[in-house]
Structure 1
């Protein structure tokens, strides 16, 4: 897959637009200490997004390897991360990034978004960026990851505040196509090291109106991307604005399927569950 210039412009525009909406939602929340998601309040949820944006101001300037971060406490946890250790890394980050004032959180986020856009303005969108666990993500995917974080957590904050929030399927589709598929095409690093490798080959086809169709193949602990040829075990047809929140626990799989916006087919659709036990979001 080649990342087109139009996709680069689109993810940069989404990065700015969703970032602005997210910052506004934080700044205007009627109760900054209302519960937003899990044990996190509105401002704690904003701080989670804030530390990621701050770290990305450094990551985006790297040359594909580990580099000093503005939160040095995170250098080792990020370098050694796999999907199962992300929660512990988040705990460290929430202590290392202590800001909880909603106005300062919004101001810092806007500044960090602007810095990421400035630093990457002349980049090839496929430039590999060093990410968690030694994985490599195209720079367009790095931006798409934060767009997704702000989209999902913006909804958490909006629900806590009783205000509307729309997750744009095109925006979260970028997360799947530019970040997730982009990382698998480059290098997943140690992110799947927690899983026991299975000799069973499982191929899952992903199709939506917002992403190019691809097949993910899980085999012997490795993950790779191939083109669809009609032989995948399972076929997932989806609306990204339903599938992605489902992947992050905001919508139950049953509700997603009953909505008709996540459909499972293929020759051996039951193998999708085995695939998702290994390839899942933290």
Structure 2
């Protein structure tokens, strides 16, 4: 399914609304509370704000310092070295005051939305690992960062936090699938030897267009559903995102009934996921 004006509008609404919810959550929370094993609420908010800040440098057209400051780390990044990229970004982006952070976050999201209002949502920017990410995917990626780290902060502080399925679905459909349709650079590079065996996995949910992802000889491609598949996955977007980012276990996701996998060759799924994995 190609990117449509409806999906573009939905992504823009989602990032504006989720930014507001995240900002309100941050200012209500204890900045010293540990949102993750390594990051306090303040550092978590700084991480999300640093991504929005870098996005301002990606959309242009004016030159901004955010990307230049981390360009080497950005271009050399793979899925397996994202933590090092985040560390470098937090060294450059030094603000830690929660109220200042949410003000900057809102301003940078507003800047990105204004700069892309009349742009083609499929226009690409050079992203992690030299991959070519469409603008809609860049916004969808930040929506997911807001949702996942909002979940972290809420869990640490006892606050309420909703991950709407339609917003969570943007990560898979508008970010990940659209990224895989283009040049992914070195983003998915790993030490897994290329397999001659073709592995096709079909993905379906109530909030995404059915799609088949194929791994063959180390290359990942996107196909329309209906062809031969080895594994079929039906998923709830919020649950699968929490699973992919290790907020819940695979066992818990499967036992909840919100992530189901079956097919002719389900044993091929682990080999597929060793290459087709998310940043």
| TM-score band w.r.t. shorter chain | over 0.9
Tell me the CA shift for residue 194 of structure 1: 2.2
Partner residue in 1 for 2:219: 222
Match for residue 127 of structure 1? 123
Residue in structure 1 matched with residue 35 of structure 2 by the alignment: 36
- Tell me the equivalent position of 1:107: 103
Number of the residue aligned with 1:238? 235
Specify the alignment match of 2:24 in structure 1. 24
Q: How many pairs were matched up?
A: 278
1:211 aligns with 2:208: yes
Helix, strand or coil at the partner of 1:216: strand
Q: Which moved more, 1:39-48 or 1:54-63?
A: 54-63
1:232-271 maps to which residues of 2 (within 5 A)?
232-271=229-268
CA contact (8 A) 2:181 2:221 kept: yes
- Matching of residues 5-154 of structure 1 within 5 Å: 5-29=5-29, 31-61=30-60, 69-70=65-66, 72-154=68-150
- Root-mean-square deviation (CA, aligned residues, Å) is 1.5
Looking at structure 1, the residues matched to 123 and 162 of structure 2 have their Cα atoms a distance apart, in angstroms, of 30
Cα distance, 1:204 vs structure 2: 0.7
SS at match of 1:35: coil
C-alpha deviation, 1:125, in angstroms: 1.4
Deviation at 1:61, TM superposition (A): 2.2
CA distance in structure 1 between the aligned counterparts of 2:61 and 2:208, rounded to whole angstroms? 28
Partner-residue secondary structure (3-state), 1:49: helix
Q: 1:72 to 1:127 in 2, by over 3 A?
A: closer
| Deviations 1:198-252, CA, capped at 9 Å, x for gaps | 2221111100010001111111111100011241111110000111110000111
Q: CA deviation at 1:48?
A: 0.7
In the alignment, structure 1 segments of 5+ residues that lack a partner are: none
Report 1:268-279 matches (<5 A).
268-279=265-276
Q: Which aligned segments of 4 or more residues in structure 1 are displaced greater than 6 angstroms?
A: none
**1:44-99 Cα distance to aligned partner (Å, 9 max, x none):** 11111011000001112269xxx864253411010111111111111111111111
